[in-house]
């Protein structure tokens, strides 16, 4: 706090503190708390009250239908029969309206009931998708690590500066294109009639349903989040003194031992950050699975959350689902930090 004041002066540091405070409370803590609150209550509608509201709904429907009947009748030619018909329908509507009034008068507004009930509502099939999503995100993270570590190491330590810049450029250029477009590109490649299957066809193989098997989601996700793995690893490997690698080699260490004993221990904080980011992004990704599964493959858990919110209109259960995912991600972060033996401080570096 004092150092902040020393570098920016009292007014500017106050502004900074207030802005950060507003941002943290308004954008992070606030919405999360609202979500948690939502997830903890539900409105119980049962017994007579439920019957009552269904009756009201039905009567409203009937009134609407009768409205159509009136229009039909009015379309007929002028005759006493027509006048009579309109009169009976109008009477009927009035009767129903008054019943509605009566019923609405006794309708009980349901109350918020606080409980953990929303968290217990997840059925076996949804829980299975939750577990599968977490598992798949872990798998994406591992594969992304296997793909990215050699790239990061090459760029940081092996390639000449010119080549390293070129590789980085090739990695970054696609990221200047909208994420959706990139994912759609994969869709075109991996579709059943897509480029990949076209090539396989030329080579005489049967087409593979990349999308149906869920492999498409994997591939697109690894591609979408590769930079978030490459950069943190690259940053830490870059700081490793190359002569340590040479010293290890000089003392007879084979390549894999150099990585195991020297490079990876040094790059641990970067690897942890990369894994955490990739995991969070892929577990929480909505666009990629939405585009790549499109109902062909099983949905991602985020799609279930979306459905709860906007298709079942059940914000309470939706919040519970979302918060469950948040908890899973936090647990994963702590597991990764334990696993790599790094603290918050190392990661912040």
Partner 1 sequence: MRGMDIELRDVSIRFGGFTAVHPTNLKIKAGEFFSILGPSGCGKTTILRMVSGFLNPTSGDVLIGGKSMAGIGPDKRPTALIFQSLALFPLMTVRENVAFGLEMRGMAKGPRSDKAQELLDLVALGDQGEKTPDELSGGQRQRVAIARALAVEPAVLLLDEPLSALDLKLRQHMRSELRDIQRKTGVTFIYITHDQGEALTMSDRIAVMKAGVIEQVDTTDLVYNAPSTAFTATFVGANNMFKGKIKEVSSDGAVIDTKYGLLRGTNPKNLSVGSEAILFVRPEKMTVQSGGKKSDNAIDVKYERRDLEGAFVNLHFLQDGDKFSVHQTNVNLKSHEKGESCTIGFDSKAGMILATGELADE
Q: Cβ of residue 268: shortest distance to partner 1, in angstroms?
A: 9
Q: x/- binding map, residues 204-243, to partner 1, per CB under 8 A?
A: -------------------------------------x-x
Given the complex with partner 1, which of 112 and 261 has the nearer CB atom?
261
Q: How far is the CB of 149 from partner 1 (least distance, A)?
A: 18
CA–CA gap between residue 321 and residue 306 (Å, rounded)? 10
- Residue 142 CB, nearest approach to partner 1 (Å): 24
> Is 251 an interacting residue with respect to partner 1 (CB under 8 A)?
yes
SS3 label, residue 113: strand
Strand extents, DSSP E, the chain: 41-43, 112-114
CB of 41 to partner 1, least distance (A): 50
Using alpha carbons, list the distances in angstroms from residue 51 to 45, 47, 62, 300: 9, 7, 16, 36
Does residue 157 interact with partner 1 by CB under 8 A? Answer: no
CA distance 269 to 329: 18
Tokens 């059943």 — which residue? 192
> From the CB of 252, what's the least distance to partner 1, in Å?
5
Which listed residue (14, 33, 247, 327) binds partner 1 by CB under 8 A? Answer: 247
In angstroms, what is the minimal distance from the CB of 263 to partner 1?
Answer: 11
Cβ atoms of 219 and 190 within 8 Å: the answer is yes
Nearer to partner 1, 222 or 262 (CB): 262
96: contact with partner 1 by CB under 8 A: no
- Which listed residue (64, 102, 104, 246) binds partner 1 by CB under 8 A? 246
Cβ atoms of residues 269 and 342 within 8 Å: yes
CB of 241 to partner 1, least distance (A): 6
Q: Is 244 in the site for partner 1 (CB under 8 A)?
A: yes
Task: Name the 3-class secondary structure at 42.
Answer: strand
Three-state secondary structure call for residue 194: coil
- Evaluated on CA atoms 41, 46, 49, 53, the torsion sign reads positive
Complex with partner 1: residue 94 or 241, whichever CB lies closer:
241
Answer for the pair 40, 115: CB distance below 8 angstroms, yes or no. Answer: yes
Bridge partners, 43 (sequence order): 112
CA separation for the pair 306, 318 (Å, rounded): 7
Please list the residues that pair with 113 across neighbouring strands.
42
Instruction: Give dist(CA 249, CA 157) in Å, integer.
Output: 14
User: Residue 125, interface with partner 1 (CB under 8 A)?
Assistant: no
Cβ nearer to partner 1, comparing 147 with 159 = 159
The backbone torsions φ and ψ at residue 40, rounded to the nearest 5 degrees and listed phi first, read: -100, 0
Convert residues 257-286 into a mask of x (bound to partner 1 by CB under 8 A) and - (unbound). Answer: x---xx--xx--------------------
- Applying CB under 8 A, which part among 165-173, 193-201, 251-259, 318-326 lies near partner 1? 251-259
208/253 with CB nearer partner 1: 253
Choosing from 189, 253, 326, 333, the residue that interacts with partner 1 (CB under 8 A) is 253
Sign of CA dihedral 221, 224, 228, 234: positive
In the complex, the residues that contact partner 1 under the rule CB under 8 A are: 241, 243-244, 246-254, 257, 261-262, 265-266
């Amino acid at each position: 706090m004092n150092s902040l004041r020393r570098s920016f002066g009292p007014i500017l540091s106050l502004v900074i503190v207030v802005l950060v405070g507003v941002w943290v409370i308004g954008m992070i803590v606030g919405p999360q708390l609202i979500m948690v609150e939502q997830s903890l209550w539900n409105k119980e509608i049962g017994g007579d009250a439920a019957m009552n509201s269904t009756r009201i709904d039905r009567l409203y429907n009937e009134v609407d239908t009768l409205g159509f009947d009136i229009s039909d009748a009015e379309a007929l030619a002028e005759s006493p029969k027509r006048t009579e018909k309109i009169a009976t329908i109008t009477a009927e509507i009035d009767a129903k309206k008054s019943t509605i009034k009566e019923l609405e008068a006794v309708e009980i507004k349901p109350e918020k009931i606080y409980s953990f009930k929303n968290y217990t509502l997840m059925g076996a099939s949804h829980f299975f998708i939750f577990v599968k999503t977490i598992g798949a995100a872990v798998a994406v993270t591992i594969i992304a690590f296997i793909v990215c570590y050699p790239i990061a190491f090459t760029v940081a330590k092996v390639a000449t500066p010119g080549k390293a810049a070129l590789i980085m450029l090739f990695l970054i250029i696609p990221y200047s294109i909208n994420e959706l477009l990139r994912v759609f590109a994969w869709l075109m490649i991996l579709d059943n009639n897509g480029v990949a299957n076209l090539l396989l066809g030329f080579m005489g193989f049967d087409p593979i349903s990349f999308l149906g098997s869920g492999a498409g989601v994997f591939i697109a996700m690894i591609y979408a989040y590769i930079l978030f793995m490459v950069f943190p690893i690259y940053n830490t490997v870059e700081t490793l003194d190359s002569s340590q690698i040479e010293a290890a080699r000089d003392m007879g260490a084979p390549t894999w031992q150099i990585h195991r004993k020297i490079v990876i221990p040094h790059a641990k904080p970067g690897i942890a950050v990369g894994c955490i980011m990739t995991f969070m992004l892929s577990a929480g990704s909505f666009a990629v699975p939405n585009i790549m599964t499109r109902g062909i493959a099983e949905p991602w858990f985020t799609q279930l959350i979306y459905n709860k919110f906007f298709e079942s209109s059940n914000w309470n259960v939706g919040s519970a689902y979302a918060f469950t995912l948040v908890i899973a991600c936090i647990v994963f972060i702590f597991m990764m930090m334990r696993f790599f033996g790094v603290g918050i401080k190392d990661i912040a570096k």
